[in-house]
């Protein structure tokens, strides 16, 4: 039996790891100088968290790159981003053509209010409170330097990764509760589409159209932008789906990398649901029948379809007793049912509930477990190395995950787990202090210790300020 649990752990971890001109006389025999062609820049966003904060809606009025000769805007329309959802995940924020240049910094213009949703774990079930945070002024301008300048070549492709550090940006009182005072701390980094921190790891949207002849489809992604996604023979689809039977309506998840034309080349495509309504967010409480089968789920809602938008940033209790379809994002096969079902919904999980809506009733038909990030500190002396980067460690979390685990949570890593800005699992074993870590993966019941939760990490990273 222990060997079976070990095989489940190994298989799960193996699966989830998956951017001066001159002039000359017309009488000159010297050919005119070649004019530099623009390059392209993609922008992705993520966050470094405060454990109790589950939502942080920040309005970005603009982002301007500051170069040696040019100052183009890569975001020019007010865009609201929920950075708390993006812990350990990267979502595409913008793609623009900019002059070829060397850019040393970026200027962000933000606007109030900043909507903060945080968990009050003194209540049962945990409650989510929402307050409007205030910037030092509105609009608020912040110039951030690249650690290494971002070079955009003619016809080239470069990337800017931004991280909004919630932990340092939000003031807290003596009890650790947020006060609403916001002093933004933002980190940026030049990256490439092929780099581990340049790839898009969190893109979910409604399917607009599919073009099987060109191996592509279009989704309505975040921030009101449509994105073209290409697939090839290496792209993994979830069971029963391929480019030939992809059709609207559907909600689709994508992982992949930007291409020079602004499209994405997908590594993985998941048809989450063909239902037209959905709720997505964090589980706060689960009620079960006498046999342990989930009957209702209370969740903080961070995302919805258009028909349920009034539920965003609210707590909802949903009757799921009739739901029989349970899936795990980007994970398919016989292990799925063994790992996630109506008997293994856990507080702290990030889930997607698809269904139908006839005003005023939402009827759920499926539940998908989504990847999420967890921030915490390493418990010194807790690291176990099985082989290479495979093993586990304990992570202390002061938020919803720590509440659900009733203490430190076990984090399992595999041979394919990416350690970013860290040397690896063995190096962590030498740490004698509570170093901060961010992990990305799936929160599940621990197959090695039934009745407890564990985190299966595809990524373990040091926060930017710890680099």
* pLDDT tens, residue by residue, 375-411: 899 999 999 999 999 999 999 998 889 889 999 999 9
Residue 417's pLDDT is: 94
Strands 361-370 and 325-328: parallel
Query: What is the predicted pLDDT for the residue at 224?
Result: 73
- Look at residue 10 in the predicted model and tell me its pLDDT: 52
Helix (H) or strand (E) holding 5: helix 2-16
Q: Is CATH 2.40.50.140 the classification given to domain 373-466?
A: yes
Helix (H) or strand (E) holding 457: strand 453-461
Coil, helix or strand at residue 216: strand
The pLDDT value recorded for residue 12 is 53
pLDDT for position 326: 93
3-state DSSP assignment of residue 254: strand
pLDDT of the residue at 18: 47
Write out the two tokens for 130.
């929402």
Q: How far from chain centre, in Å, is Cα 268?
A: 15
Q: What is the pLDDT of residue 101?
A: 95
Same fold: 200-273 with 373-466: yes
* The predicted structure's pLDDT at residue 463: 82
Contact 421, 461 (CB under 8 A): yes
Task: For residue 32, count other CB atoms closer than 10 A to its CB.
Answer: 12
pLDDT of residue 335: 67
> How much of the chain exceeds pLDDT 90, in percent?
56
HSE, side-chain direction, 13 A CA sphere, residue 167: 21
- Whole-angstrom Cα distance, residue 217 to residue 310? 29
Residues 166 and 184: their CA atoms lie apart, in Å, by 8
Alpha carbon distance 423, 139 (integer Å): 40
Structurally, what CATH architecture does the domain formed by 277-370 represent? Beta Barrel (2.40)
CA 229, CA 75: separation in Å to the nearest integer? 21
Flag residues of the chain having pLDDT under 70.
1-37, 46-51, 176, 333-335, 465-467
- Delimit the domains of the chain by residue range: 39-191, 200-273, 277-370, 373-466
Q: What is the CATH number of domain 200-273?
A: 2.40.50.320
Phi, psi dihedrals of residue 328, rounded to the nearest 5°: -125, 130
Residue % of the chain over a pLDDT of 70: 89
How high does pLDDT run on average in the chain?
86
């Amino acid at each position: 039996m222990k060997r079976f649990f070990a095989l489940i752990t190994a298989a799960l971890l193996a699966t989830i790891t998956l951017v001066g001109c001159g002039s000359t006389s017309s009488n000159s025999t010297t050919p005119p100088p070649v004019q530099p062609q623009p390059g392209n820049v993609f922008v992705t966003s993520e966050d470094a968290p405060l454990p109790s904060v589950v939502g942080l809606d920040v309005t970005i009025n603009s982002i301007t790159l500051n170069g040696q000769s040019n100052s183009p805007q890569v975001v020019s329309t007010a865009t609201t981003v929920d950075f708390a959802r993006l812990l350990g995940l990267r979502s595409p924020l913008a793609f623009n053509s900019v002059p070829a240049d060397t850019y040393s910094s970026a200027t962000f213009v933000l606007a109030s209010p900043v909507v903060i949703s945080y968990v009050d774990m003194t209540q049962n079930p945990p409650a989510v409170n929402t307050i409007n945070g205030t910037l030092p002024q509105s609009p608020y301008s912040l110039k951030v330097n690249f650690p290494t300048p971002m070079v955009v070549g003619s016809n080239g492709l470069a990337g800017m990764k931004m991280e909004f550090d919630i932990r340092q940006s939000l003031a807290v009182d003596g009890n650790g509760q947020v006060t609403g005072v916001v002093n933004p701390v933002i980190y940026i980094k030049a990256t490439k589409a092929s780099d581990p921190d340049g790839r898009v790891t969190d893109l979910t949207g409604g399917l607009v159209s599919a073009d099987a002849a060109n191996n592509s489809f279009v989704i309505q992604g975040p921030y009101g932008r449509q994105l073209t996604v290409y697939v090839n023979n290496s792209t993994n689809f979830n069971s029963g789906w391929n480019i030939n039977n992809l059709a609207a309506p559907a909600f689709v998840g994508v992982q992949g990398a930007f291409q020079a034309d602004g499209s994405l080349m997908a590594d993985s495509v998941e048809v989450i649901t063909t239902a037209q309504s959905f709720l997505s967010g964090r589980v706060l409480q689960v009620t079960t029948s006498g046999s342990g089968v989930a009957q209702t789920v209370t969740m903080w809602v961070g995302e919805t379809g258009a028909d349920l938008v009034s539920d965003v940033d609210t707590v909802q209790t949903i009757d799921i007793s009739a739901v029989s379809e349970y899936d795990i994002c980007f994970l398919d096969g016989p292990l799925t049912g063994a790992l996630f079902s109506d008997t293994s919904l856990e507080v702290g999980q990030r889930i997607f509930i698809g269904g139908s809506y006839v005003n005023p009733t939402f009827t759920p038909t499926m539940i998908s477990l989504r990847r999420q990030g967890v921030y915490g500190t390493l418990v010194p002396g807790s690291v176990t190395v099985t082989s290479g980067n495979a093993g586990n460690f304990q992570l202390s979390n002061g938020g919803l995950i720590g509440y659900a685990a009733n203490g430190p949570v076990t984090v399992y890593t595999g041979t394919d787990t990416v350690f970013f800005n860290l040397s690896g699992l063995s190096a962590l074993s030498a740490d004698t202090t509570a170093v901060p870590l961010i992990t990305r993966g799936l929160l599940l019941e621990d197959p090695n210790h039934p009745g407890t939760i564990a985190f299966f990490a595809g990524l373990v990273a040091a926060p930017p300020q710890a680099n």
